[in-house]
Structure 1
Amino acid sequence: MIKISEKIPIMINGLPGNVARTMAAAGIADERFLVMPYSLTGQDIPETTAMVGENEFLLCKPDTRDKKIKAIFAQYPFFIAVDYTHPSAVNGNAKFYSRNNIPFVMGTTGGNREELEKTVQDASSPAVIAPNMAKQIVGLQAMMAYAAQTFPGLFTGYSLEVKESHQQGKADTSGTAKAMVGYFNELGTDFKKEEIQQIRDPKIQENQWGIPREHLSGHGWHTYTLKAADGSSLFEFKHNINGRDIYVSGTFDAVVYLREKVSLKGNKRRLFTMIDVMNQS
């Protein structure tokens, strides 16, 4: 069992992807963590290693990771995984972590979320799962959840339009947008998650949305527009994020939170959210 005073070994999974690269660089610079030189990656990734600054990472693919994890455990008997891989890998990775009793932070969106939660609940090790790791956005979602519970039906009769823009390589619809739709529906709208408008064209993003060119490769802009049926009133909610740095703090808070849960005797709960993390921070 790791001691509270020790650095926390973390395995940043998803290299050579951009978000995982951001997390790895931040983790290396953070005195709280020992970033392990390994990273789970996709079967289709041609590289066998990835560099983050002067640090080399060995990439572990799905067809070899079950063998490699034995050698990794020999070096690091305890560690926490940070997952920023791909939506198609979410459920398989979660099963891998749970099968090997690896606590993990799932920052990757997509996959079958009900199956993901069941995997964690049936496991012996805990996990933090959230559609967004940015603490400010998590706070906004908490406010929306409070409004939905306190004022159900407040926007009955209003139409809802949801637009989200992310970098061209994002494969799935924003998990944050999906969560927000749930809150708006509790507030009275009638909106299907399939109606969320995904913007992935860089030309539209730059010319119509005004997203800075330097952030076309990494951003998350969301707009939620509510209109009264007679056109007499309009409400609009926005949260626009440029770059990926905002996700680092929340992710690492979740890592520290999990380490404390693992160290706490008698803790039987397995599934945690960023709301849990922020309530304790």
Structure 2
Amino acid sequence: MSEELIRRLKDELFEARHAVIELMPPAVRSVLDSHYRCVTAEDTYTWFEDVVDDLIELAEVLPPVPFYFGQRANCPLCGCGPDSPYDKGFALPEGLRMHLQGKGNARQCSAMRAAFGLARSHWDEKFHPRWSPEHEAAQAKVKARRGKEIQYLISPHVAPRLVDEGMYPGQVRDAESLAWAEARLVELGFQYQAETRVRAYIRETPNACVYADPRQSGSISFAVLLKPIQKGLSRSEGRRVPIGSFRILDGRKKDLENKFAAEVASAVKELAPPLKLVASD
């Protein structure tokens, strides 16, 4: 098989997996995209288990069914329940956990397989080989840059990022464009915070706290966190905090405030925990 064909097949596989994730609701998509927030290889060790826990928390509990004990829910990714026509939803939490992980006799969720494939491909490119001199030199360079360059806090539960960290070549704004993006954030009511070399752009609403990331050319990214914001989380725990996200394109000129408010309201609605059904006496 030619290298060109292999590359094309890999590209098509990536696009297919990515399309599956893009079809998910914002809250679910944010959980599945959290592999991008793994800063070190060690962060990836518990990612799969953490994501499964998050997805179980997002599952909508089904109405009680006679003769069933405990709560049940369909998969928040594929929307399916057990293969048996007599069962409604997976038992929470372990039945759904087995479906998402593909353990025991359970057939693993196909969307979960796609998400894990995307994460593994990203990590292979980012962290492998961890032990190579080139990797160690790159890590040392990043550490040195952190000691003297501006960084951006894009979430309270993720380490501050360098201006090009996690970006592909050509995606990063130049100084003039970055200043323009910062001015747009001021126009949207964001508060600028600076501490040593770390910048943060934050706007609070009655129900949420929104962090802005102006680094990428063409659009500004926003991360939405429900109040109250949990403080003092470790990096591993922080990855488990649901974060909604959206973008506003630079070309958007009209109704910025209405657009922003609508996106935040949608994210808050998606992130809100499902109502727990309590059996009556």
- Same fold by TM-score greater than 0.5: no
Q: Which has the larger radius of gyration?
A: 2
The normalised TM-score by structure 2 is 0.27
Q: Report which of the two has the higher share of strand.
A: 1
Per the normalisation by structure 1, the TM-score is 0.27
